Amino acid sequence: MRSAPGTRTLRTLAAAGRHLNFTRAADELGLTPAAVSFQIKELETTLGYELFQRTGRSMVLTDAGKILCAAAEEAIDTMNRAVSRVARLKRDERQLKVTVDPQFATKWLMRHIVEFRRRHPEIDVRFDVSYELRDFEIDDVDIAIRFGTGNYPGCTTDRLFSNVIAPVCSPRLLKGERPIRTPSDLLQHTLAHIHWTGDGLTWPTWSVWMAAAGIPDFDDDNTLVFEKSSDAIEAAMTGEVVALADFSMVANDLSEGRLVRPFDLGVTVPPEFGYYLVYPTAETLNERVAVFRDWVLEAARAVQGREAAGSSFP
């Protein structure tokens, strides 16, 4: 019986199978294309099977290659999951690792976390701030806060906010030389919104809000467009721009007077979309995760209460 290839060879095989190109596989692995080619050739000689076929400039997997590349990916994944579980054995029992996207971290979580630490000094919260989705079985994280539809297999999700999008600006701009009293007054100002699409959702733009406010045929080409909501919010704080913003992301700025809402009118995204707490489904929930979950849900309910007061949403 032939012995199984070692870990290094498995990683090389998996990379070559994904890319079907030794140069790109070499870039991923930090090797030279010649080193990748040598390892694959050595593996083919050892096994007695051809794993890749070259057809002109392209390369395809043979039947044996398909089987072994899939097995290599599975073996690497299994090892990564095991290493993650071992790492957790060494982790301080007080630690709670939270993964969260940068915008939510900046505009909401970091403005509330001091209160959590005051209430629960026994929990050492560590943050992984990233747009990348983490795998609870591989990555060393306990709970996530993510925007989406809440569909994460093997996980429990708790919705935090509905997404109400409304105009915001600085108090100075509201009562300046061109005061904003009616929706049509906005046409005299620089308007900003974000451009974002994902999972079948297109984020509301000014043309959507203007239509709801009774101003049809507004042209979004005359607006400032940002990729991140935090940038649009910062633009509004300069006092020169009116931005469309998610209420939950500006609730603190509104309550502390840095921003104001000229109008109660807001537009909503489809109800399945929103920010969710995400954590692995388990019969017995980790105590630290449960404490953090309960606190976040309490803080989110307070924001929702402020959002609902005196607002109208089509």
Residue 314 lies in a domain: no
Residue 1 lies in a domain: no
Q: What is the largest CA-CA distance in the chain?
A: 85
Place of tokens 């633009």: 235
> With a cut of 50, which residues of the chain have pLDDT below it?
1, 310-314
The H or E element spanning position 307 is: helix 287-308
CATH number at residue 49: 1.10.10.10
Q: Do 32 and 57 sit in the same domain of this protein?
A: yes
Q: Do 263 and 279 sit in the same domain of this protein?
A: no
Q: Do 158 and 276 sit in the same domain of this protein?
A: yes
CB atoms inside a 10 Å sphere around CB 112: 15
Q: Summarize the chain as % helix, strand, coil (round to 5).
A: 45, 20, 35
Residue 19 lies in a domain: yes
CATH number at residue 130: 3.40.190.10
Residue ranges making up the domain that contains 254: 164-268
Residue 10, judged by CB atoms within 10 A of its CB (0-12, 13-18, 19+), counts as: buried
Q: What does the pLDDT look like over 90-123, one tens digit per residue?
A: 666 889 999 999 989 988 999 899 999 999 999 9
Task: Give me the sheet containing 224-226, strands edge to edge.
Answer: 224-226, 190-194, 241-246, 164-168, 267-268
| Count of structural domains within the chain | 3
CB atoms inside a 10 Å sphere around CB 114: 9
Q: Do 232 and 299 sit in the same domain of this protein?
A: no
Q: Do 52 and 192 sit in the same domain of this protein?
A: no
CB atoms inside a 10 Å sphere around CB 137: 14
Q: Which residues of 201-265 form beta strands (DSSP E)?
A: 201-202, 224-226, 241-246
- Looking at 65, 89, 113, which one is the last position of a domain? 89
Residue 313 lies in a domain: no
Q: What is the pLDDT of residue 119?
A: 96
Q: What is the pLDDT of residue 36?
A: 94
Q: What is the pLDDT of residue 310?
A: 41
Cβ atoms of 65 and 52 within 8 Å: the answer is yes
Query: What residue type is assigned to position 171 of the chain?
Result: P
Residues paired with 147 in a beta bridge: 275
Please report, to the nearest 10 degrees, the dihedral formed by the alpha carbons of residues 203, 204, 205, 211 taken in order.
160
Q: Do 29 and 121 sit in the same domain of this protein?
A: no
Distance of CA 118 to the CA centre of its chain: 27
Q: Read off the pTM.
A: 0.69
Q: What does the pLDDT look like over 193-250, one tens digit per residue?
A: 998 887 777 889 999 999 999 999 999 998 999 988 889 999 999 999 999 999 989 9
The H or E element spanning position 87 is: helix 63-90
Take residue 270 and report the two structure tokens written for it. 């489809």
